[in-house]
Structure 1
Amino acid sequence: MFLSYIIYFIAKAFSASYRYKYLGLENIANAQSQSKHKNYLLGIWHQNLLHGILAQVGNPHIVIVSKSKDADPVAFTCRKIGTIVVRGSSRNAQGVDKNGKEAKLEMIEKLKEGYPGAVTVDGPKGPAKKVKPGIVDMALKSETVIIPYLPIPESYWSFNSWDKFRLPKPFSRIVVLYGKPIVASSSENFESYQVELESSLNDLEEKAKEALVNWKNLSSKNWHQNK
């Protein structure tokens, strides 16, 4: 618990120094208008998880966090900033399911209740930047529209992990992009939705780099003003 508090206060201090600008906010309204429950499901790369969550402070989403002890500080920090956390992990090396199925079902039920959600589409163990089928399955079963979601910091530390996890440096500029909604309406096109999401996230990364160069010309509008 002590470590969880330390990580939370570090994340809080860092976040207070970050400067965010949000692009593609119209895609949130577009997704909500097409979702049965007037919500949406963000798809994000695992490496951008931390600042992706911090960029949504005050706008609670439901997320799945691993049930491992290593993930306890992440779950604690998420809850402290208002994120709704469901704990569950995929099967381990011994083939034991660690509440993964239950977590996924709970996520689907919360989406049906109208909560917006967020999923690390290549997590929890990779391969990096390859969209797994989980988000499409949840979108189909909850009738929720997917939004590609990419927050990119101007400067960051990159960890030597499978996803090259990013920790934005203090006072970093962060561009937060929302891609065009993806409506998953048929299980027959399951893989095509994965390909579409992966392609969109890759395209957004290039747009984010351009946006950071043109930071001064970007609108300062954020998701609060989009409501």
Structure 2
Amino acid sequence: MGIIQWIVAVFMAIPIWFVYFTSVKKITNIEVFQKYRRKPAIFIMWHGRTMMLSPMICLGGMRAYVVASRHKDGRMMAKLQRLFGLRAIYGSSHKGGVSVLRKGVKVLARGDHALCISPDGPGGPSLRIKDGALYFAQMSGAPIIPVSYSVSRAWIQERWDRYLVALPFTKLNINIGNPVFVPRKASAEDIEKYRADLEKFMVAQMRELDAECGIESPEQDLTASEFKRQKREVAAAKKAAKRKKK
């Protein structure tokens, strides 16, 4: 199974590189990336907007770890990210994530490594920041840096996160937000304010990029389980409609 996953990962990585190199790029606030690419930092990006950031991280020489789910899909994506130079910490940064928090803080303590986290993963709600990234920042002193991108040519997958698959020869707009520091002594109320402010910024950041590229932004609050339920209901309705016609 492991060998098959590696083979699949290679076949997934090749088109990603092709799309990246054939795209016309516009990167806003690149100086933030350059400043923190070899420093402890926590880069956060929406679960549906990760594809085109991996090549940038790789070519930028960033030393980074991703927080990945132990689910088979998470392990598959971790293998793909490994081909772009990113290693994996397995587990959840939100539910029962004490060991993940400990490992992540240890990575950041090296002084030249970053963490990459999708704060609405692995199963939503979409475009809602869970508190894991905030705790990493609070415990380590490393800043949170919100990143997003959009493209003018894409296939938007029918998933809870509306995963954006960029197509060759696209316009690629990447926006890197300013660093956000969470004080070590921040209270629970402080953490919630940082979380809400980051979430508001990241949603606006993505929607502005989508408007520039002319694509529709995904909706908030959709979970993987809710999306599956909706699909089952649609399928059941179609079957019922066919029976009535008969």
TM-score interval w.r.t. the shorter chain? Answer: 0.7 to 0.9
In the alignment, is the contact (CA less than 8 A) between 1:64 and 1:119 conserved in 2? Answer: yes
- Of the candidates 56, 65, 71, which is equivalent to residue 74 of structure 2? 71
Q: Who is 2:52 aligned against? A: 51
- Residues 168, 75 of structure 1: CA spacing in aligned structure 2 closer, same or farther, 3 A cutoff? same
Q: Counterpart of 2:58 in 1: which secondary structure? A: coil
The one of 6, 9, 16 equivalent to 1:7 is: 9
1:106 corresponds, among 94, 103, 126, to 103
Q: Does 1:42 align with 2:43?
A: yes
Contact 1:5/1:73 (CA < 8 Å) preserved in 2? no
C-alpha offsets along residues 97-150 of structure 1, whole Å, 9 cap, x if unaligned? 6xx432232111101112112110111111000111110001000111111111
Which residue does 1:225 correspond to in 2?
none
Q: State how far apart, in whole Å, the 2-side matches of 1:54 and 1:28 are.
A: 13
Aligned-partner Cα distance in 1 for 2:198–2:175: 14
Alignment-derived partner of residue 158 in structure 2 = 160
Q: Which residue of 2 aligns with 1:26?
A: 31
The SS at the match of 1:62 is strand
Q: Does 1:86 align with 2:89?
A: yes
- The unaligned stretches of length 5 or more in structure 2 are 215-246
Larger Rg belongs to:
2
Cα distance between partner residues in 1 of 2:92 and 2:200: 26
Q: What CA distance in whole angstroms lies between the structure 1 residues aligned with 2:193 and 2:94? A: 25
Code of the aligned partner of 1:120: S
Task: Give the aligned partner of residue 216 of structure 1.
Answer: none
Listed as ranges, the gaps of 5+ residues in structure 1 are 214-227
Q: CA deviation at 1:210?
A: 5.6
Q: Distance in 1 between matches of 2:94 and 2:137?
A: 21
**What RMSD over aligned residues (CA atoms) do the two structures have, in Å?**
2.4
Rounded to whole Å, the distance in 1 between the matches of 2:123 and 2:133 is: 15
Q: Deviations over 1:72-114 (max 9, x none)?
A: 221111112211211224799xxxx6xx432232111101112
Shift in Å, 1:69: 1.6
Aligned pair count? 202
Cα distance change of structure 1 residues 203 and 171 upon mapping to structure 2, 3 Å threshold: same
Asked if the contact 2:93–2:133 (Cα under 8 Å) also holds between the matched residues in 1, the reply is no
Match of 2:177 in 1: 179
Higher relative contact order (CA 8 A, sep 6+): 1
TM-score with structure 1 setting the length: 0.79
Q: Secondary structure at the match of 1:56?
A: helix
The Cα shift of 1:50 comes to 2.2
CA contact (8 A) 1:53 1:78 kept: yes
Per-residue deviation, residues 141-188 of structure 1 (Å, max 9, x unmatched): 011111111122222222222211121122322211111221111422
Contact 1:151 1:177 in 2 (8 A): yes
Evaluate the alpha carbon distance shift between residue 155 and residue 60 of structure 1 in structure 2; reply closer, same or farther with a 3 A threshold.
Answer: farther
C-alpha separation in 1, matches of 2:94 and 2:100: 12
CA contact (8 A) 2:148 2:175 kept: yes
Deviation at residue 15 of structure 1 after TM alignment:
2.1
- Structure 2 counterpart of 1:222: none
Partner Cα separation in structure 1 for residue 56 and residue 141 of structure 2 = 25
